Every structure is written in structure tokens, then in C-alpha cells.
Amino acid sequence: MVDKELASTAIRWFDENARDLPWRAPGVGAWAILVSEVMLQQTPVVRVLPAWRAWLARWPEPAALAADPPAEAIRMWGRLGYPRRALRLRGCAVAIVERHDGQVPTGLDELLALPGVGAYTARAVAAFAYGQRHPVVDTNVRRLVARAVAGEPDAGPATRPADLVATAELLPVDPARAARASAAFMELGALVCVARTPRCADCPLASMCAWRASGRTAPEGPTRRPQRYAGADRQVRGMLLAVLRETTGPVHRDRLDLVWDDDAQRARALAGLVDDGLVEPVGGSYVLAGDRILPVDRQPADRRVPGPRRAAGPEVGTERT
């Protein structure tokens, strides 16, 4: 059957070509895999590697993270981007301790019930941590399946139920082998069957790929419109958070005003951080969520804050690679 042959071929390729990533090592636990999956959302592997190692060194188990305030998770997240993920991870840790005795649950429904864990992350943990048979579908997998099976150049902007069904049909019956196939599909999509310049000559699935057989070409433009960073609210949010991360205790509004010279945009970014639960107002000052507030006479000396600027440069990558 072509579908099963596709999975077997992908697994053989993966066995020989997979990147040596620490969360794939034998014996890595479910908590470490959950952390990696949350960090890898919209963030390249090269940026996740040091953050993942530092996070697990500090919080090797959910109970360790649950015992610390949310502010520490936000600080540890650093410049990894999309810092609400830090709060989601801590929320997961608290729920795992309260509901599951500190152990990441094995059931898909229990994983889906964890705070901030969606369809992709729950299935990824079930497959990669527990060797279960679930379709693990991210952007790379959707694109690979759309091309190899449906003959389409791209899978569209969002995961649909049909994508889960199409991927599930490709998986071997054996759960452990199905999990291996899911990892192989993801790796092929990230490294070979990429969006703009697919490496069809190097693809082990080339001979059975419906899209290649059709002779159709990849879309000329980007499959998704890239998000602007320089001068956007995301940049201002990141700069405000950087000041708060580097300070223990309240930071007065006047100090935050030095970060960005557009008053309206700065106020909007700060209000967004508060609405997202990342920052809390304390009188005329602000602290990271759940930060321990020290008495005034015990506050650390202010660190130097850069003057108003509009620096460029992305906070995080948008491709999962």
C-alpha cells in the first residue's frame, strides 16, 4: 500500500538523517519533551536549544516550576519570544502537580485539558514521550502530506480536521512505529520539503510524491505574510519586559517611559502586557506577574536603561525548523 510505503520510507530516511536533538535522546522524560514542544512553537531550533537546557537545569520536574512564582518563568524565558508561553508552561506545571501528582499525564484527553496545551502539543507529547499512535500535525507535516498525497503545493494557513485524518491514514498500525513516522514526517518537512525551495532531488519520497508527479511548481510568494517586528507593538512589549526582567521588585512608570518615545504605542504595549497576565501594576509602578515585591529599602540599585530607540531585529523566528 502506497500510504504505508510512504511512512516506511520516511522512517528509513529519518533513521539515517535526523538531527541529533537532545529532546529526542533515549530516556528523555515527558516533561522535557513538553517544554521543548512549547518552546519550538514559532521559534527555530537553534534558539530553543540553549533555552531548553537552561530551563530543564533549573526546573527538571513540573513541581519545581510550580513552586516558583510566574515572574521567574518570565525571566527565564528571556528573549525567546512570545512570552505568554512561559506562563502557559508554568500553568501546565501547576495543573500537573495538582491533578496528576507531578507526572505529565499519558492520556490524550488529559493532555488536552492542561492549560495552554492545544491539539498539536498534546499529540506531540503523547507520541514522542509515550510512543502512542496519534497524527502529529504542524505546518511542516501539513505541507509534506499536501504535496506527497494530495498533489497540492501547500496546505493552507491553518490546521483542519481533514489534515489530522489525512496524516493518521499514513501512520503504521504499531504505535511506536507510528510515533517514529510522525517524527520523520516533521523532519522531512522542516529540512527537505520546505515551503519556498523544496529539495526534491534529496527527498526520499520523490518517486511517490503526487505533487512532483503533477509537475506543478511551488507558490512564488510566501505562503504566509511575515509579521512585521521593527517598530511594531511586539518590539515595544519586548523592550518593556526586558527592563522588568532585569529588576527585582517594582519599576516606576517613569523608568519605563525611557524605553520608547511614542507615548501612545508604549502605553498600548504596556496595557497589553497587563491584559496578558505578564505584568501587574503596583501603584504607579509595574512588576512581572507574581513577582516578590521587596520593601523600598531593600530594592536593588536601578540598572542602566537605554534611552528611547526603535531598534530593529526579530524577537523570534516564525518557522518551526
How far apart are the C-alpha atoms of 264 and 274, rounded to whole Å? Answer: 15
Which residues, listed in sequence order, are joined to residue 267 by a DSSP beta bridge? Answer: none
Q: Which three cell numbers stand for residue 155?
A: 496546505
| Residue of 237, 226, 244, 282 lying closest to 262 (CA atoms) | 237
What are the phi and psi torsion angles at 183 (to 5°)?
Answer: -65, -40
Q: Is 287 helix (H, G, I), strand (E, B) or coil?
A: strand
Report d(CA 305, CA 187) in Å as an integer.
41
Amino acid at 174: D
Catalytic residue among 5, 16, 37, 110: 37
Q: Give the integer Cα–Cα distance in Å for 310 and 201.
A: 43
Whether 220 is catalytic: no
99 membership: H or E segment, kind and range: helix 84-100
**Residue 67 identity:** A
Q: Coil, strand or helix: which one is 201?
A: helix
Cβ contacts of residue 19 below 8 Å, gap of 6+? 45, 187, 191
- Catalytic center residues: 37
